[in-house]
A and B are shown apart, each in its own frame.
Chain A
């Protein structure tokens, strides 16, 4: 099992949309390396023929009738948004100047 470097943490933070600070990178890299070392023991388990357990309850494809049910109104939902405009969620621009 591999260890986790400062660069790995920076890459993962970017993937997870976390603008971590340099100080956090230093701290997290050390701590995550410790955690990873502690959880690496799962690799010792002999599980070649063991199916994964994704869920404690053996339920699949719970369906309901395809009928319209009451839902939250648009105004109620938008009231909780950080920014709304023209009855929609307002988002910052999604493209940079160069694009």
Chain B
């Protein structure tokens, strides 16, 4: 095998394929890591997906996998598979910034549970990916460090807040990555880059070591090129963790099996509800025609595979966006109070002329970007005495209404579907000064976030040459249904198309 040919093939091979090659000894972990690191060196200057690349330690970890395999050690199926982590996943000794200047240069003294579980599975950390500062945004333009570009069109956003992760995987700079989702930050970037992204049931993946944004909503999950790869990663990172008090103490299995079952293409007996309030009749304002067309086609495809399709109304979903933009900033204003310039991170103004309060205010003023400041101020407002009942408490009650709509809907159907986001990737710079327009990108993803339910985004095709995402939502702990339905859709589309959607990426197989 010529190393050049191997290199380009290895970066376009999915995780299932890499796992087979590594297990069979047809390629070494060092070859796989090198192929990705070389492609990062060549391409990431233009893409801006990574904030930090761990070249030396990645090669050392890969060499250790190869040595263990040569010595006859029993290795797991993912040993030697590279991975990228969103930069809010705390990694011991490896820079972790959450996209913020306030954590510039910080090297954490411990690792997140999900980072530890991925390492224990033998995966090789390539680096940390760019993101909107503290995960606040839908375009990754709120990163304090750099702009990240969409591999499908480099003048457009890769989604957010996990936009470095989406650009890395769609741009073949990592076979898969970890994203986190508070209001749609896994699903929306996956949708606009042609990837699969799953937000797990709240509590099914540990939050220990994830830099907090909105603690009652934050959840980490997989971003991958195939539904099966996403399910495999979910099984690695998921399951009970005593270090997260909101972690659900029940086993998490059957996700990869559900993806394999779905790919067989038989959905007879499955009841699918199309949510009217998310792009249906009377609710199409702000949705692009191409997105609605791909969504209709995906629904028809599910029906052709035997699913029974009905329209479902969830009237409270109309209030998801206002409720979210009160709850998330409120929790953020509290969570981000820990950045006070004393225990870690940036300190500004400590020159003897300022007291502690002033140093805190100067540190936070310089360390936080505009969207973070806006949300801290909004959250401080929504939590202030006299306004608490009208805003925060009211939003928490609306959350109950949304959860009840889901419960009612799931008495008649097994899954709910919708577009993932109302538009294809928008041009860089087009929404930066208009928070309301930016927030609209989360319209379809917010209901499942507020209710804590699992939801996946799977590609449904292209509109004007750009990827469109299809969302599948399921009851709590029924993540397997998301994988089953998404895999059925993926397999049927790939078969009809004759290739994977990502194969149409401009220059993707260069």
Contact = CB atoms under 8 A, between A and B. Distances in A.
Interface in B362-390: 362, 364-365, 368, 370, 373-374, 376-378, 380-381, 384, 387, 390
Q: Is the interface of A mostly helix, strand, loop or mixed?
A: loop
Contact of B381 (A12, A31, A91, A96): A12
**Residue among B333, B346, B354, B361 having the largest count of chain A Cβ atoms under 10 Å:** B361
B452 A81 contact: no
A59 B245 contact: yes
B109 A76 contact: yes
A52 B436 contact: no
Given A24-B373, A57-B246, A80-B109, A42 B391 contact: yes
Contact of B397 (A14, A24, A35, A51): A51
A85 to B, nearest CB: 12
Interface string A1-33: 110100011001111111111001001100110
Given A34-B435, A81-B344, A82-B344, 15 more contacts: A17-B340, A17-B364, A20-B365, A24-B370, A28-B373, A38-B321, A42-B326, A42-B395, A42-B398, A51-B397, A55-B246, A59-B248, A81-B343, A82-B341, A92-B355
B373 to A, nearest CB: 6
Interface string B210-233: 000000110000000000000000
**Residue among A35, A55, A72 having the largest count of chain B Cβ atoms under 10 Å:** A35
B345 A4 contact: no
B116 interface: no
A45 B316 contact: yes
B474 to A, nearest CB: 14
Contacts of B354: 92
A53 interface: yes
Nearest to A97: B355
B23 interface: no
A35 B436 contact: yes
Interface string A36-68: 101111111101001111111101001010000
**Residue among B354, B377, B435 having the largest count of chain A Cβ atoms under 10 Å:** B377
15 contacts: A18-B373, A19-B365, A28-B374, A35-B374, A39-B395, A42-B326, A42-B391, A53-B396, A53-B400, A56-B202, A62-B245, A77-B109, A83-B350, A92-B349, A92-B355
Which 8 residue pairs of A and B lie closest in terms of their CB atoms, listed nearest first?
A56-B452, A52-B396, A82-B347, A47-B397, A56-B202, A19-B361, A39-B322, A19-B365
Contacts of B345: 80, 82
B361 A52 contact: no
A34 B374 CA distance: 12
Contacts of B341: 82
A91 B356 contact: yes
Interface residues of B, number: 75
Nearest to A21: B365
B394 A47 contact: yes
Contacts of A47: 394, 397-398, 400-401
B248 to A, nearest CB: 6
B393 A92 contact: no
Contacts of A40: 322
A43 B316 CA distance: 13
Contacts, number: 187
A1 to B, nearest CB: 7
Interface of A: 1-2, 4, 8-9, 12-21, 24, 27-28, 31-32, 34-36, 38-45, 47, 50-57, 59, 62, 64, 72, 76-77, 79-83, 89, 91-96
B111 to A, nearest CB: 12
Nearest to A95: B355
A45 B319 contact: yes
B242 interface: yes
A91 B225 CA distance: 48
B242 to A, nearest CB: 7
Contacts of B346: 82
B168 interface: no
A92 B348 CA distance: 11
A7 B319 CA distance: 29
A85 B245 CA distance: 34
Contacts of B380: 12, 15-16
B137 to A, nearest CB: 14
A57 B401 contact: no
A55 B449 CA distance: 11
A83 B345 CA distance: 10
Contact of B246 (A21, A51, A59): A59
A15 B387 CA distance: 15
B125 interface: no
B53 interface: no
B373 A45 contact: no
B347 to A, nearest CB: 4
B342 A89 contact: yes
A19 B216 CA distance: 28
B403 interface: yes
A53 B451 CA distance: 9
Contacts of A94: 355-357
A38 B436 contact: yes
